[in-house]
Amino acid sequence: MKTINPADFPIEMNTENINILANMALVIPVLPEWRKISLEILTDDERLLVSKKVSELNYEKRKQRLNSLSIEELEKEQKSIEEKDQNQFYRNSNLLQQELDSINLENIKKKMKKK
């Protein structure tokens, strides 16, 4: 994999260099060169360009992976995504909304008891 060293800066932010930086950003564990570049050298606009490219690369990888799955595997993947979304929804629920729901539930119970 081709990398760019912090000493090479300033560089032109052309397509090739953005691709190299995006691929550096995707390496796990994080490369020390990438850490220095991203934290100390890149401007916010340059970081945004690299971030967009990282998103594109991740999207393409996911798309290729999904295209390689069988119908059964796709259905399993869809179910997994739906379960994660549902769990995330409950985790992100607003506490106030939960309180309102609780109050509404109590009101409904009271009305049912009156009948």
For 50-71, write each residue's pLDDT tens digit. 999 999 999 998 888 877 878 8
Name the band, by pLDDT with cuts 50, 70 and 90, for residue 108.
Answer: confident
Instruction: Measure the N-to-C terminal CA separation of the chain; round to a whole number of Å.
Output: 73
pLDDT in tens, 68-102: 878 888 788 778 877 776 766 665 555 556 666 77
Per the structure, the complete domain to which residue 100 belongs is given by 71-115
Residue 1, pLDDT score: 83
Residues 6+ apart with CB under 8 A from 74: 66
Residues 6+ apart with CB under 8 A from 58: 26
Give how many domains the chain has, as a whole number: 2
Judge if 102 and 80 occupy the same domain: yes
User: Which residue is associated with the tokens 């992100």?
Assistant: 92
Round to whole Å and give the CA distance between 1 and 12: 19
Judge if 54 and 85 occupy the same domain: no
Judge if 61 and 5 occupy the same domain: yes
User: In this predicted model, which residue has the larger pLDDT, 46 or 82?
Assistant: 46
Round to whole Å and give the CA distance between 107 and 87: 27
Share of the chain above pLDDT 90, in %: 36
Judge if 85 and 45 occupy the same domain: no
